Structure 1
Amino acid sequence: MEHALNIALPSSGRRVPCEQCPLRAMPHFRAFETQELKFVASFKTGELMADTGTTLLAEGANSAHMYTLLSGWAFRYKSLPDGRRQILNYMLPGDLLGLQGSIIGEMEHSVEALSPLVLCVFQRDRLDDLFSNHPGLAFDITWLASREERMLDDHLLSLGRRTAIERAAYLIAFLHQRAAAVGPDGSRTLHIPITQAHVADTLGLSIVHTNKTLRKLADRKLIRWLDRACEVLDVDGLMQIADWDGLPERKRPLI
């Protein structure tokens, strides 16, 4: 059964110049060389704003654009013909969207906004220029693709070998660690904007099983479940349950 998609279209206006990008000031991201910054500023054609639930990229479609997430959350997923979906990964500020479509031509997954978003828009037909004339940026894109593969390896290991409570603990700790690197400082509470349906579609569990599993984590005072968000109370406790050491701390590229 086909569903109508609320698909966002790029705007042409630039509200945040690359030279003043708030992400560039974060210690999590590597600094651009002068020529790299100049190219990326010309590579960017505008910005896109999208509401929660908007489809940014659709499986099977072609897109003339790539995006860098400037603010907000999104998720990648694949669907079966009957509408069941598997969430593959989550996107946070600084992540690159649409590279697969730019290289292969047709998207093999969909991307949906998990919260209100602002994205930087890039023309995919200038990707050849980037690879030909800016080897540092070309390496950055390769690095980002490799990082995504590594995260998917970890997710597959979790789905295949961890118990339900270990899977849930891993997922929430993983999202918390990623969000903490690009989110507010420790003076503000960090909320992960996911529902129990998102958790179920990520972990391959039923809603009932997911609810029982998350309740166990809440009973241990590790998380607090809100209406459409999760507050992490003890990330170290979650990591201990999942037997997960966390993501490596290193500077990462930003396109």
Structure 2
Amino acid sequence: MEFLRALPYREASFRPGQMVLDGGLRTRRILIVAAGLAAVQTEFPNGTRQITDLLVAGDVHGLSGVLGQAMDHSVSAITPVHCVTLAADDLAGVLASRPRIYGALFWAQARRERVLRDHIRIVGGRTARKRVTQLLCCLQERREEFCSGANLPFRLEFNHTIIADAVGLTPVHVGRILRKLSDERLVRMGRGRIDVIDGPRLKTTADFAGIH
């Protein structure tokens, strides 16, 4: 840890909607999320976007930069985000002499691939209801993996438009699904937030077996 702290890094906070990493700049920086929720996204020429992943506290993103690959997507803040970034080149130059750091980063990258496979599984071949409920369950499980307050109600501080962009549905359709889940007392909705109030029953509804 002392060695990692000695590497040059940038620490920053971002407001909701701010760009954390701009893919248009072809950056090669590694992002470590300390707090908050961020979206990994690809923008299309017609102004729409596809969210390919959601980053929660504890996630490491951009490790492909160590292999010389520039990032071809953007990362934006959904909630207030606090993060640390460091240049991939600064880390790449020392991995050979630090096998424990190399192993930790390899584990982090393997976990990222596992989460992305689950995201593809959620979006592909699922009913609209299961896309939404499985995404909520996946985010809750990832939060519980890193946060000590896992016994608290799980709160998503964003609206259903974010879910729609993540699972390939319209905001109107997602809104109807969330209202139905609210009627079933699985979630509770407020202004700009969604609370999961019955996690076990939501997992049963979603047929969620955990992150694979």
User: Shared fold by TM > 0.5?
Assistant: yes
Matching of residue 185 in structure 1 with residue 149 in structure 2: yes
Aligned-residue sequence identity (percent) comes to: 28
1:76 maps to what in 2? 40
| Mapped partners of 1:163, 1:231: distance in 2 | 22
**How well do the aligned residues superpose, as a CA RMSD in angstroms?**
1.9
- Aligned to 1:161, what secondary structure does the other structure show? coil
Unpaired runs of at least 5, structure 1: 1-36, 249-255
Contact 2:42 2:52 in 1 (8 A): yes
Matching of residue 241 in structure 1 with residue 209 in structure 2: no
Unpaired runs of at least 5, structure 2: none
Matching of residue 138 in structure 1 with residue 133 in structure 2: no
1:18 maps to what in 2? none
| Mapped partners of 1:128, 1:186: distance in 2 | 34
Matching of residue 91 in structure 1 with residue 91 in structure 2: no
2:27 maps to what in 1? 63
Measured against aligned partners, the alpha-carbon deviations of 1:2-40 in whole angstroms (never above 9, x if no partner) come to: xxxxxxxxxxxxxxxxxxxxxxxxxxxxxxxxxxx1211
TM-score normalised to structure 1 length: 0.76
Q: How far apart are 1:115 and its partner, in Å?
A: 1.4
Contact 2:143 2:150 in 1 (8 A): no
Q: How far apart are 1:204 and its partner, in Å?
A: 0.4
- Aligned to 1:125, what secondary structure does the other structure show? helix
- Aligned to 2:23, what secondary structure does the other structure show? coil
Equivalenced residues, count: 212
| Mapped partners of 2:65, 2:21: distance in 1 | 9
* CA 1:61–1:46: 2 relative to 1, 3 Å: closer
Contact 2:79 2:158 in 1 (8 A): no
- Aligned to 1:174, what secondary structure does the other structure show? helix
- Aligned to 1:118, what secondary structure does the other structure show? strand
Matches within 5 A, 1:104-183: 104-183=68-147
TM-score normalised to structure 2 length: 0.91
* CA 1:125–1:235: 2 relative to 1, 3 Å: same
Measured against aligned partners, the alpha-carbon deviations of 1:80-116 in whole angstroms (never above 9, x if no partner) come to: 1112111111111221133234434421211011111
Please state which structure has a larger fraction of its residues in strand.
Answer: 2
| Mapped partners of 1:46, 1:60: distance in 2 | 20
Matching of residue 198 in structure 1 with residue 162 in structure 2: yes
Matches within 5 A, 1:209-224: 209-224=173-188
